[in-house]
Amino acid sequence: MKHLQLNNGMQFSWHHTNLEVVHIGLYIKAGTIDEYHYPPGIAHFIEHMVFKGTNKFSFQELSEKIDALGGELNAYTTKTYTCYTIKTLKRFEAEAIELLEEMVFHATFPPEEIEKERQVILEEIKMIEDDDEERAFEQFESELFKGTVFSTPILGTAESVNAITRNMLQSFYYQFYQANNMILSYVGTNEQQIKKIFQQIDCSHSVTHHDKEFKVNHVNIEHHKESMEQAHVILAHEGIGYLDEQSAVYEIINNFYGGSMTSFLFRKLRESLGLCYALYSSVDAYKEGGVLYTYFATDAKNITRCLEEINKIHNELAQGINMQLLTKTQHYLVTNLYMNLDYDGSIMEHMGKSLMLYNKIYEIEALEQKIMNVTLDEVNNALKLFEKAYASYRIY
């Protein structure tokens, strides 16, 4: 895995493969948290619009050229970045790269396509509203992070999406879709050609990012919804940012707490008591801070029992774990680390995200060392977080 910075400021990483399939990812450091003076959902709206026409191609021409590649061209938006990916045969990668460059840097935002896509996004929002788990997290985070840019739903709301104009789309696009605000990650055989294409792109201005305020509000929210088969409950403990030296500690805690089939949550609530089918913990880490989530779905009459058992687990973990459990968890995470990078698409994603988050590519050996260097004292000190009150959300 190698990388360099092109003359226009774009970060370029590459990894050689002997396979016929190539993977290309273009990461733009612009997501929901950058929407400040724009209606919520505009970053996601732009992700849709780059597929809807460019200087060279109409929407129909662009669609036909994408289909002709016979591969996969996808995109997604997060709170902190937007990503466009291509997976295709190396015999088609020249055309694929030219299409990606044309779409990302020369989108035209045709008015008629904006209105069509606005309706598509409104339908996407309705789909989220029908997904009780996703909707629960969205509603919870709107209050959990209230007063900060982290509270905004990625898709926006029906009201905010309807307020987005073509001028707004072009303004956000011009502000953030600059080469010096991007990372190009490539796994293939012709990195020189890729480099040549993208280093010719000019920057009209330098993109700067400012630290955002991050805070976790200690809210306790209850919602009632008719005709629900299950209650959905989320708990949130304040965590740490991904740049914190203790980030690997929280990764370890998350795994033995609720991140695997032998975790405390899984063994107690599902295997022992049979109270839940869906339950897990997860860590969301940003530059400015993070959250350790606990999620479970159960019959509404079991909510209190589940919370009682979870609180017992919290109390037990706050007393600390032993070296045997720590070593087992470290080995589990290291094995998964190597297994996850046993695929070119994952290598492409790893390089792109590593450069975006840390401004360097973490070699797999360094990540292994980071996990194995975590001490029992570090874990047990961090487990004191379970002594603190948590925010909660429930819908039933």
pLDDT above 80 for 227 = no
Tally of CB atoms within 10 A around 17: 17
Cα–Cα nearest to 342, from 189, 194, 185, 187: 187
Mean pLDDT of 112-121: 96
Distance of CA 99 to the CA centre of its chain: 24
Structural tokens at position 292: 């350790």
Please report which confidence band the pLDDT of residue 60 belongs to, taking 50, 70 and 90 as the band edges.
confident
Given a contact cutoff of 8 angstroms between Cβ atoms, the answer to whether 16 and 189 are in contact is: yes
Lowest-pLDDT range of 61-70, 123-132, 301-310, 316-325: 61-70
Rounded Cα gap, residues 89 and 128, in angstroms:
34
Q: What is the pLDDT of residue 370?
A: 96
What's the fold here for domain 2-199? Cytochrome Bc1 Complex; Chain A, domain 1 (3.30.830)
Q: What is the pLDDT of residues 331-371, one digit of tens each?
A: 999 999 999 988 999 999 999 999 999 999 999 999 999 99
Lowest-pLDDT range of 8-17, 196-205, 253-262: 196-205
Mean pLDDT of 318-322: 97
Q: What is the pLDDT of residue 145?
A: 97
Mean pLDDT of 66-73: 82
Rounded Cα gap, residues 238 and 209, in angstroms:
24
Domain extent listing, the chain: 2-199, 220-395
- Please give the share of the chain, as a percent, with pLDDT higher than 90: 81
pLDDT above 90 for 277 = yes
Distance of CA 167 to the CA centre of its chain: 27
Rounded to the nearest 5 degrees, what angle is found at the Cα of 312, between the Cα atoms of 309 and 315? 155
Rounded Cα gap, residues 189 and 18, in angstroms:
7
Q: What is the pLDDT of residues 17-54, one digit of tens each?
A: 989 999 999 999 999 999 999 999 999 999 999 999 89
Rounded Cα gap, residues 189 and 14, in angstroms:
9
Q: What is the pLDDT of residue 59?
A: 82
Higher pLDDT: 203 or 247? It is: 247
Asked if domains 2-199 and 220-395 share a fold, the reply is yes
Both ends of the chain: CA-CA distance in Å?
A: 48
Average pLDDT, the chain: 94
Mean pLDDT of 97-126: 94
- Main-chain dihedrals φ then ψ at residue 383, nearest 5 degrees: -65, -10
Q: What is the pLDDT of residues 249-264, one digit of tens each?
A: 999 999 999 999 999 9
pLDDT above 90 for 305 = yes
Q: What is the pLDDT of residue 384?
A: 97
pTM over 0.85: yes
Q: What is the pLDDT of residue 251?
A: 97
CATH 2.40.50.140 fits 220-395, yes or no: no
Q: What is the pLDDT of residue 302?
A: 95
Q: Where are the beta strands (DSSP E) in 161-238?
A: 182-188, 220-223, 231-238
Q: What is the pLDDT of residue 160?
A: 97
Q: What is the pLDDT of residues 133-179, one digit of tens each?
A: 999 999 999 999 999 999 999 999 999 999 999 999 999 999 999 99
